[in-house]
Structure 1
Amino acid sequence: MSIHDTRETPAIRCRGLRKQFGDTVAVNGIDLEVRRGECFGLLGPNGAGKTTTIEILEGLQPKDGGEVQLLGMTWEHDAEAIRQRLGVQLQESEFSDRLTVEEIVAMFRSFYRQGATVRELIDFVQLGEKRGTQVRHLSGGQRQRLSVACALAGDPDILFLDEPTTGLDPQSRRQLWDVCEAFRARGGTILLTTHFMDEAEKLSDRIAVLDRGVIIALGTPDELIASLGGAHVIEFAATTVPPVARMEALPGVSRVHERDERWQLTVDEPHRSLPALLAELEKAGGTLTALTTHRATLEDVFLSLTGRALREQ
């Protein structure tokens, strides 16, 4: 253990992190701190710098500038010690199709000086019944849980999860969420990237939104949603739309946003805002072609901040 590693030391800390590829600045001075025992979500569209940031933290990419510490240690001076305390689950992992679950986990367990037994790892990710099954006979969800078991082989303090449930059915997603929550219950720290807003909201204690190499928002899911200024969203399309200034002046409206020929109004009390909106539409001579309302979500926050939906890939 590093002399700098105490329970008060952040699990992950970076200051002024920078990375450039040619003329492209991928990471532009990121400051980030992940506390011990929390699940921290990192969200961003393609090209935001999310993958580059993660790879630098994992030790897979050299940084061009700034400072990175994991558990009080640095890659420059403590690389071997850090590797023994990290678990990395990639979005896609290639395992030999003809090896069994038990053989794969045993191989990964052999890379570390400490950790749970092979049986304990397999049971922890709920693959006990598949212990002797070859990888080629596993479902997508079972393969992802096998990947997590391998990431946990050294009993890590920090677990990196890169879009762990992409391509999985709802039941498999929930099973993987259970594994994540069990890891955190044991005191582990998770850095999560995902393209699913419900997953980010379910698992993350705090979330950072990256865009164009910088963090543009940081907070708990509730704090980020509250930043919209209203708890509900009215979305509509019409043949003729009132002037933006008129919609912004409607009772209870805190924000007006247009995307793909649809308008979104962030409001506190839709029962007050909606009748007023309909009255303004009538004055403008417009006819509704679509109308929906919903509680504000992280997806609305992301759209407001970046102008894009998270899954516009």
Structure 2
Amino acid sequence: MTSTPAIEAENLVKHFGDKVAVDGVSFSVPQGTVLGLLGPNGAGKTTTVRMMTTLTRPTSGTARVAGHDVVVDPKGVRRSMGLTGQAATVDELLTGRENLRLIGGLYGLSPSYLKRAGDDLLERFSLTDAADRVVKTYSGGMRRRLDLAVSLVAIPPVLFLDEPTTGLDPRSRVELWDVLRGLVREGTTLLLTTQYLEEADQLADNIVVIDRGKVIERGTALELKNRSGQAAVVVTVSNGGDLPRAEALLREVVDEVHVDEGARQLTAPADGLRAMTRIAGIFDDSDIELDDLGLKRPSLDDVFLRLTGHRAEDTTETDEEVVL
């Protein structure tokens, strides 16, 4: 991995008339890593991706993909990247194999290369059995996998994924995550926009949170969680009658204990694994039986709530797509 970032944005701004869709967004993505661009609908994620992929021109600011400036050298950017948008863009009247040949032909790739690459991509994305079926017979998950395969036919070093798992069932989403992890292991750099907090947690090396066109937080998933609140040790006793004694033991080492009688649980603020180890030792020396003892860190949903004032599932659709 070299020190030159695969993707860079510096003070990107985009206006649509009086509307400011993106307002000074900056980030850098090292080669062979994944950046998660996280935010609610209308936050400016898609507009940012469109500027990075030369689909819309920045009002101001600069951006580079694989060293190519998106304004000065848009052709160089397009040769260096693939893009999977929010909706699958494959031709429903062609077969999966024909879609790969079509896009490969537009890149000027040779028929012999396309045959080898097409077979490899169809196998990688578990589409070999459906390769010669027309795409209109594919399920939603199959179309998304084909859409991603098409974006990789020219072996781009950088891939932009704009909410790639929207509309997929949980199983298809997990399968696509596995494919994306494989691409990163092979050296591909990913920029992933998503509203799914679990998706960012699973895939992203670093996360940039944007809201109303501005970057409001950045860091690894763990860093963002730690900033959103203190971790807690959660103790679940086997016998609800032991809760008072368990609470008394906990208060020997912590000042604050929350008791949930229905769940037979006690929750206490903790400064990490050291506190959990200390608490585990206390219960090891007692005769209180436990069902579970674990460290609970704040989730990315807690991060979202702290930063935006609402949880991710409370976001509503906006007209961001209209103004693009």
TM-score of the pair, normalised by structure 2: 0.74
Which residue matches 2:83? Answer: 88
Q: Alpha-carbon deviation of 1:111?
A: 2.2
User: Counterparts of 1:223 and 1:252 in 2: how far apart (Å)?
Assistant: 24
| Shift in Å, 1:23 | 1.9
Q: Secondary structure of the equivalent of 2:153?
A: coil
In our comparison, the structure showing a higher alpha carbon Rg is: 2
Alignment of 1:58-77 (within 5 A): 58-77=53-72
How far is 1:148 from its partner? Answer: 0.2
- Which structure 1 residue ranges, 5 or more long, are not aligned? 1-5, 235-249, 254-264, 273-292
Contact 1:228 1:266 in 2 (8 A): no
Runs of 4 or more above 6 Å deviation: none
Tell me if 1:191 matches 2:191. yes
Closer/same/farther in 2, CA of residues 306 and 119 from structure 1, 3 Å limit: same
Shift of 1:100: 0.8
Closer, same or farther in 2 for the Cα pair 1:85/1:266, shift >3 Å? farther
Q: One-letter code of the match for 1:133?
A: R
1:130 matched to which residue of 2? Answer: 130
Give identity over the alignment, percent: 39
In the other structure, the counterpart of 1:243 is none
Aligned pairs for 1:199-278 (under 5 A) are 199-232=199-232, 251=255, 267-268=269-270
SS at match of 1:77: coil
Displacement of 1:267 in angstroms is 4.2
For the Cα contact (< 8 Å) 1:105–1:122, is it kept in 2? no
State the partner residue of 2:249: none
SS of the residue corresponding to residue 62 of structure 2 reads strand
The one-character-per-residue Cα deviations of 1:59-112 (angstroms, maximum 9, x if unpaired) are 111111111111111123322222111110011124333311111111111122
Assess, with a 3 A threshold, how the Cα gap between structure 1 residues 52 and 266 changes in structure 2: closer, same or farther: farther
Select which of 18, 26, 38 maps to 1:23. 18
Alignment partner of 1:159 is 2:154: no
5+ unaligned residues in a row in structure 2: which ranges?
235-253, 258-266, 276-294, 317-324
Residue 298 of structure 1: how far off its partner (Å): 0.4
Distance 2:230 2:74 in 1: 46
TM-score (norm 1): 0.77
Cross-structure match for 1:35: 30
User: Larger % of helix: which?
Assistant: 2
Contact 1:233–1:296 at 8 Å: present in 2 too? no
For residues 169-225 of structure 1, give each alpha carbon's deviation from its aligned partner in whole angstroms, at most 9, with x where no partner exists. 121111111110111111000000112111110000000000121111101101100
Q: What is the CA–CA distance in structure 1 between the aligned matches of 2:176 and 2:85, rounded to whole Å?
A: 14
Compare 67-76 and 107-116 and name the one that shifted more.
107-116
CA distance in 2, matches of 1:111, 1:154: 10
Q: Give 1:304's aligned residue.
A: 306
Moved more, 172-181 or 69-78: 69-78
Distance (whole Å) between structure 1 residues aligned to residue 233 and residue 309 of structure 2? 16
Q: Aligned letter for 2:102? A: M
The answer for the alignment partner of 1:44 in structure 2 is 39
Whole-Å Cα distance in 2 between the matches of residues 22 and 252 of structure 1?
53
Aligned residue-pair number: 261
